[in-house]
Amino acid sequence: MQTAYINHPDCLRHDMGAHHPECPARLGAIEDQLIASGLLPYLQQHDAPLATFEQLARVHTPHYIESIQAAAPAQGLIYLDPDTAMGPHSLNAALRAAGAAVLATELVLEHKVENAFCAIRPPGHHAEPGKAMGFCIFNNVAVAAAHAMEKFGLRRVAIVDFDVHHGNGTEAMFRDDPRVMLCSTFQHPYYPYSGADSSNAHIINVPLPAGTDGTIFREKITERWLPALDDFQPEMLFVSAGFDGHREDDMAQFNLLEADYSWVTQQVKDIAGRHARKRIVSVLEGGYELHALGRSVLAHLKVLSGL
């Protein structure tokens, strides 16, 4: 079965101003690599729908969703936090980003594809139940995981997050929900300065120092994530796929390479093959050095699709 590739032109229209690293060109850089490699025609391409209030409200407070709808400006930018702005097209981009993750979940659970990748922005894993943060408005991966549980009745799902930043929002949403195993690696101490002391039985946080390279990354994932995931036996896996830990990405100080992203994707695929009928939904998070981002997503998608 195929891999789905979900995006939407609205995600290109969210623009937080010149020089903001979370820029529309990120999606172009990804698509360029997929075209140049010849992979894109082999993926099942879909336009993302708009997420509904009900889908968002499984992880966000109704008050927060309404405040985001009301905040959208007719022109110019308004700031939700010092790093996160909304322009006239940002609300639709954020609704498409979460909607992509919902559609991906449905395509996989309805057996239309084996797995799916959402090439969307804004990213999501810093967005908390009632707060935008760190370039994120709605928590796309959390919306997807909640959809799998509430609409399809899944009882155990896992979210793996290899973005260089801790996914504080996702953790805030599922900290007290033992149906969700959250496995993450992140630079620490570093933005958002959380996660190092909040592990519990189903939250597998692996803080790693600046300078972490592929050898350390693979060792820690092998030691910490993989046995926990095998014990948990998730029925579906979700990926917060952030590529800002790449050596060429100066957003943070990890030294990962495309081969490390291929490796971690293969580990996720192996777990999904053993426990989850191969079901994986992967959602773009960070990755700001455009060339490295394009190459890293290509590496990730080659493993997901097996092509």
Residue given tokens 């990962």 in the structure block: 256
Q: Least distance in Å: CB of 85 to Zn ion?
A: 17
**Does position 245 bind Zn ion by CB under 5 A?**
no
**Does position 163 bind Zn ion by CB under 5 A?**
yes
Q: Least distance in Å: CB of 260 to Zn ion?
A: 15
Do 297 and 284 contact (CB within 8 A), yes or no? yes
| Angle ∠(296,298,301) on CA atoms, nearest 5 | 110
How far apart, in Å, are the Cα atoms of 111 and each of 73, 75, 234, 281? 39, 42, 17, 13
User: Whole-angstrom Cα distance, residue 69 to residue 158?
Assistant: 30
Q: Restricting to residues 179-218, which ones interact with Zn ion according to CB under 5 A?
A: none
User: Whole-angstrom Cα distance, residue 209 to residue 242?
Assistant: 17
Q: Least distance in Å: CB of 228 to Zn ion?
A: 22
Nearer to Zn ion, 124 or 234 (CB): 124
Out of 10, 244, 258, 289, which residue is the one contacting Zn ion (CB under 5 A)?
Answer: 244
Q: Which stretch binds Zn ion (CB under 5 A): 6-14, 31-39, 241-249, 259-267?
A: 241-249
Residue given tokens 């980003």 in the structure block: 97
Q: Is 15 helix (H, G, I), strand (E, B) or coil?
A: coil
User: Whole-angstrom Cα distance, residue 237 to residue 15?
Assistant: 30
Catalytic residue (one of 14, 60, 125, 126): 126
Nearer to Zn ion, 234 or 286 (CB): 286
Q: Least distance in Å: CB of 246 to Zn ion?
A: 11
Q: Which stretch binds Zn ion (CB under 5 A): 36-44, 166-174, 236-244, 274-282?
A: 236-244
**Does position 165 bind Zn ion by CB under 5 A?**
yes
Do 175 and 136 contact (CB within 8 A), yes or no? no
Q: Is residue 113 classed exposed, middle or buried when 0-12, 13-18 and 19+ CB atoms within 10 A define those classes?
A: buried
Q: Which stretch binds Zn ion (CB under 5 A): 114-122, 142-150, 218-226, 242-250?
A: 242-250
Binding mask 252-291 for Zn ion (x = CB under 5 A): ----------------------------------x-----
Q: Least distance in Å: CB of 296 to Zn ion?
A: 13
Nearer to Zn ion, 207 or 286 (CB): 286
Do 239 and 278 contact (CB within 8 A), yes or no? no
Q: Which candidate, 102, 112, 37, places its Cα nearest to that of 301? A: 37
300 is catalytic: no
Nearer to Zn ion, 114 or 163 (CB): 163
User: Whole-angstrom Cα distance, residue 258 to residue 262?
Assistant: 6
Nearer to Zn ion, 165 or 300 (CB): 165
By annotation, the residues acting in catalysis are 126
Positions touching Zn ion (CB under 5 A) are 163, 165, 242, 244, 286
